[in-house]
Amino acid sequence: MSTIAHHTISLDGFIAGPDDSIDWAFAFGEPTSLAEETMRRIGAIVAGRRWYELAKERWDGVDGIYGGEWDGQVFVLTHRSAEDDDSRISFVSGGIKQAVGAAQESAGDKDVGIFGGSLTRQCLDAGLLDEIVLHLAPVLLGSGVRLFGGEGAEQVELDRIAVGEADQLTDFRFRVRR
Amino acid sequence: MPVFVLTHHAREPLEMKGGTTFNFVTDGIEAALARAKEAAGDADVSLAGGAKVVQQYLAAGLLDELDLSVVPVLLGDGERLFENLGAEPPELTLVDVVDGPGVTHLRYRAAN
């Protein structure tokens, strides 16, 4: 059972553009076989509060995940208490380790998906990330939400275990060396 | 091979034993490119960098192609290639992916 950060990323390193836009990500081809395979592997998702607010407002909540193809529990890491009528949403306030642990339990034999730049970095820092799956889009966004780097980020070695080309997207699957 | 070096300090060309000549250009990126194109004739001009120079050419719409090698490491900190690209960065088209041992070579064409 692995934890996987799964994102479409611009060539200049953003997973969301200015104003949190993600429309650009769909302009370069259909979801690839690696995207579908990764979706099928994921049994539960850990996301951040920012993702949650945006998903409720713009992306149809849990029903919008992977275009409605995905089914499972979403664990939202947040410091502020919250409630949601959707039973597929759980709020976790005890930190990244607890959130990943709860998601692993829910995922059973399947893997855990990590959504968002901040959560991906927190997982990397805590040694909780096993894989990074990226769909690299040929676009320069200039600004937005970065997946990697930031204050005090450590060097992390990866092994590229798969690469593929699908239309204008380049698929990468990396394993995190620990 | 002639090399054109962008600098603020004018100096005489420097001829190396191996055949490389360093020409120092003080009147900007367009002038340097014009001189390099003239020297290249029918061949292409390679933009060697660093990052700030690539950014200036990208922002000015003077770059036709990007050849990148993706290495599987997260450095965390350092010099980013794609920054300060202006309001309208060029549109890119992926034209080639070469799967090397560990390294992935990507080629993009820029529409300026």
Domain ranges of chain A: 3-169
Cβ within 8 Å of A, B 16-45: none
Secondary element (H or E) of residue B2: strand B2-6
Q: What is the mean pLDDT of residues B11-22?
A: 95
User: What pTM was computed for the model?
Assistant: 0.93
Beta carbons of B74 and A156 less than 8 Å apart: yes
Q: What is the radius of gyration, based on Cα positions, of chain A? A: 15
One-letter amino acid for residue A39 of the chain = M
Bond before A142 cis per omega within 30 degrees: no
Give me the pLDDT at residue A20, please: 92
ipTM of the prediction: 0.89
Q: Which residues of A touch B58 (CB under 8 A)?
A: 140
Concatenated DSSP letters of chain A: --EEEEEEEETTSEEE-GGG--GGGGSS-SPPHHHHHHHHHEEEEEEEHHHHHHHHHHS-GGGGGGGGT--SEEEEE-SS----S-TTEEEE-S-HHHHHHHHHHHHTTSEEEE-SHHHHHHHHHTT---EEEEEEES----SSEESS--TTPPPEEEEEEEEEEETTEEEEEEEEP-
Beta carbons of B90 and A140 less than 8 Å apart: yes
Give me the pLDDT at residue B36, please: 97
Closest CB from A11, A124, A136 relative to B82: A11
Break chain B into its structural domains and give their ranges.
1-46, 48-112
Which tens digits make up the pLDDT trace of B50-87? 899 999 999 999 999 999 999 999 999 999 999 998 88
Beta carbons of B72 and A138 less than 8 Å apart: no
Q: CA of A124, closest CA in chain B: separation in Å?
A: 10
Secondary element (H or E) of residue B37: helix B29-40
Distances (CA, A) of A86 to A17, A63, B35: 28, 10, 64
Beta carbons of A12 and B85 less than 8 Å apart: yes
Q: Which residues of B touch A168 (CB under 8 A)?
A: 93-94
- Tokens representing B18 are 């191996």
Residue B80 touches chain A, beta carbons under 8 Å: yes
Backbone torsions φ then ψ of A56, nearest 5 degrees: -65, -40
d(CA A25, CA A17): 10
CATH for A3-169 is: 3.40.430.10
C-beta separation of B85 from B110 below 8 A? no
Beta carbons of A11 and B92 less than 8 Å apart: yes
Concatenated DSSP letters of B5-28: EE-SS----EE-TTS-EEEEE-S-
Beta carbons of A170 and B82 less than 8 Å apart: no
Which tens digits make up the pLDDT trace of A9-44? 999 999 999 999 999 999 998 888 999 999 999 999
- Tokens representing B13 are 């060309």
Which tens digits make up the pLDDT trace of A83-138? 899 999 999 999 999 999 999 999 999 999 999 999 999 999 999 999 999 999 99
Mutate to test the interface with B, among A140, A143, A177 (most CBs of B within 10 A): A140
- The CATH topology of domain B48-112 is Dihydrofolate Reductase, subunit A (3.40.430)
Beta carbons of B89 and A172 less than 8 Å apart: no
Mutate to test the interface with A, among B66, B94, B103 (most CBs of A within 10 A): B94
